Chain A
Amino acid sequence: MSGGMERRGFLKAVGAGGAGAALAGCATDKVESLIPYVTAPEEITPGVATWYASVCGECASGCGIRVRTREGRAVMIEGNPDHPLSKGGLCSRGVAALQGLYHPDRLAAPRRAVAGGFEDISWDEALDALAERLGGASRALFLTGRQGPAEGDLLNRFVEAVGGTRLTFDPLDDVALRAAVDIGFGVKALPRYDIASARQLVSFGADFLETWLSPTAFAADFAAMHGLDHGEKGRFVFVGPRLSLTGQNADEWIPARPGSEADIALAIAGELVRNGTSAGPYTELVAGRSLAAAAAAAGVAEGALAALAVRFAEGGVLALGPGLAGSHGAAAAANLAVLVLNAAAGNVGETIHIPDAPDREAASPHGDLVEALSMMRDGAYGVAVTAGANPAYALPPAAGFREAFGAVPYKVALASVMDETAAMADLVLPVAHPLESWGDSEPAPGAYAVRQPVMSPVPLFDSRATGDVLIETGRRLGHDFGAASLREHVRAAAETRLDALGVSAEDGEVRWHSLLRTGTAAAAGSAASGSPASASAPAARRALQAPNTAAGFGAPALEGAGDLALLVHPSARFGDGTHADRPWLRELPDPVSKIMWQSWVEMNPAAAERAGIRREGEIVRVSSEHGALELPVWFSPGIREDAVAIAMGGGHENHGDFASGLANDNGVNPMTLLPAAADEQSGALSLVSVRVTVSPTGAWERLASTEGTRDAQHHQDDRRIALAVAMSALGHGEEDAGEHEGGHGQLQELQEGGGFIPVPTEGRAADFPLPGSDFGEYGQEHPRWAMVVDLDKCTGCSACVTACQAENNIPWVGERETQNGREMHWLRLERYYETVDAAEAGPLDVRFLPMLCQHCNNAPCEPVCPVFAAYHTPDGLNAQVYNRCVGTRYCANNCPYKVRVFNWYRYVSENVKEPLNWQFNPDVTVRDNGVMEKCTFCVQRIREAGNRASVEGREVRDGEIRTACQSVCPSEAIVFGNVKDPESAVALAAADERSYRVLDELINTQPAVHYLKKATFHDVDEGGH
């Protein structure tokens, strides 16, 4: 109010708004048209959603998705529960595929480079030009991303037909692991891990809940392994220098030095061997390894490793990794060491399966790329074609890609937006989004999934699928690939695949449509002996083979003179940077640091103090021999003092306005600090290869963070928000607050008097409305919607945050506004470090809590609203009526959970450019400025289910309503339903002995959201009551 606005003036302004609103309600000059179909498509009923099963194309994992379309437009993506790997879960990047589909920066037409820029041309011209070049005498190089089986096959045939060379580029593929499997087991394939069947889990740094191999599938399996079930859960130990989100979910952290994975793994294998197990041809090698030496190399206490070895000896302990976190100069050796450990622990054939056949699509080792780059520079290639790959951004500049690519006479890029590689090309072909294209995937042996377009291509962008471009170009060159379109090609591939799986083919059309309906097909009963369906049986147990070269297992050397190892890691939000142009993902708080929009360097506060850095947000200079970057520092208790970490994905120069810095801070690209070094054995590009120095610059920037606490330890202090209970305290028949009946005397008295008064009482969500307050519609006959979130299963992945944003038309507000704390997420993933020590191995306790409107039965926000915009519905929702709201924000001030958000500016009308607004959910009002909003428990889904049930003359079934957050959660940590029905899943979960409600005991808000305490192996202060 310092600007001189007095209260009276403020009320006048609001009053004028109200009058305007009343007028607007009366009449308007705007004439609207109702545009019908000329011929109606059979599958579309206006106002009713049509769902399509498909395969997500955002990364190579290929999770199953179900896409909700309305009137022919995709509006929401959820997981496909029928999918054998992802089992109904989805990650934030998968949900945000919608923003890739409707991205305003997508290419509208093919482009040709002309002096000083590009000009749009027609597809015919473009394909003619491409065919002419490929048909010429010069050799062609194809640099593409990993494809599904059908498209990959088409691509390989095309490359062969035109006499070209194909390299596969995917910075997130685990090249070193595949090489290690080749050395150890003789097959160039990634192993399949069965995390769900493991009793305990040890990750040597692999971020399997974020980007490694198939994170959504792993998250589901991890929940099954690690989630508390009948008083038991599997332990998870994380070994590595930095706690990624995956690491934060561990029960124990061994903060080992980067590059010490092999030492630790082999030493533990040595212990196992000394106990009588075998590590095959490596038995002798590991027997010579001692825990003491490994502990010295890793910089941790020997006792911690000995304890880990004891666990392995107990059996059923699966070792993972080290993944890209161990992508250093001895990456293949580190991976091999972990495989040797798994072999010694007897996991091969049990929880880790080595496939029989090599992977069809595998990223080429960096060494192959280096060779191709030198050939490019030497003029060996007349044409270079990139598709689904952006090496000009994703490779370290030291690799010299730009110079080499620039030397090729004719460069073609198949891309969706003008990324760094496309910007260098002579011809740019706009690629259709995976949601508009055909394709397939092989999620597991004996399973098949098909990708189908969920809508006709967005008409603003004249794009074509890569496969269609190949077929069309092939036709011009006289090559016939046996299909007139990608659709035909995929269908033919699918039919072949279904035959091989033994899926009955009485009627080909029926079988095909059944595949399209469910999105997946599995091998028919594997009992049929001799049929190819036996592919579904677990791969044969394989034995470790002797290495053909002497395995060194030496520690990797880090280059440079600095005192801090630089850990470059994939981003849980942007992957390798491909998704940095999605505003939802840019504004999604990073699951680890909770920072939005900006790049940051993660640093232990003790190391920062030594470097003279005093506060978080100070701009520091990180320099290696290859470059220097200036970026703000974030203090993390989850990183060793001798390392700093920077996530990939920032610092784009092109790739659309949101990524390149036209619309906001674009961050920095850590690849500029790296040499283009690779592991010699596998050729995997090293991400951990340099030492850096970090020095303060004196400047400071406010971090765009959702964290309320600014202390470097990120504790929740004595606030009882995210609670945990020791396993040892469970199952003693302790009385739970949720089981008390009655006890509402004082509250009832107060409610009859009206208003909210914080007094301590006991009660259950199902008891409301209390007798005495059930007047009018407020009777006992209504359901009471409630939610239970299992904090023991929640991994903090934040997919729910993005799903909520997509479902509820929640705008993003941009970097500046998030710095002001004005982000509008209805659901916030809180993260608190409770027990963490980067100096020595020990128990770890990082808590996650999805905080959304608690739908309090005794809500503090309701009585303070002067216009009754915040009120309680008869079915227990804390409702917000947008058309009543005048924006006083009293409700937000009175909310103890900080879950109400206010639209300060025209975030919707100014930020959401055409056609991003096509994604809006037509069932939810689009709010603009001046209105308070918050989680509605997806009331639109509740009403839709209610309408359907009412028309069918029945009650809403338990489980029929799934909120958006629940519908993507890979861990199935969220349960929603009617808590008044004692048989409902939510009522049963709410009665669990771990059940509690946040802050309820202090202020008696009687929330409808229950949390189940995280279960820890070590004792915690908050355990019990």
Chain B
Amino acid sequence: MIDRNLPPVPRLGRHPSRWRLAGTPVITVMLGSTLTMLPVIAQSPVMPPFGLLILLAWRLLRPELWRVWIGLPLGLFDDMMSGQPIGSAMFLWTMMLIGIDAIEHRLVWRSYRQDWLIATMAIIFCLAGGVFFARITGGGSVKLLLVAPQMLWTILLFPFVVRQCARIDRWRVMA
């Protein structure tokens, strides 16, 4: 009798397809960016940048998955979905990934808390950079305080998103 509640394991001699291995993370990040199409007319920046959160989660969960240039196409897609000027997330996400690469070499011991700390710094960098870009591209006097609540709950949401990514990752590597 096969227990249906057991977690899936790869069957002997079977491997997940290349599309599933490489495509799943990319698609989840793009879906995260696409959440801005929800029919909510926001009066202030309330929605956490889910694309960024999921990218960070995959990057910290699976450091070997992507090269740093992955920030370019995913950032461009995020720029198309969010109201930020085109090029803003392209630049910020790539710089963030390069920064994480640089930090990772210097950390001797890393655990969940260090990951959260890295993600916190990355989120603050990207949101503050986004405000700066919005300001210089004709956004008027956008204050940094405006995105402070958004920063806070994006940081608090990170552990949850990592959990979900880990769950998807388990499905991804099991054929």
A and B together in one complex: no
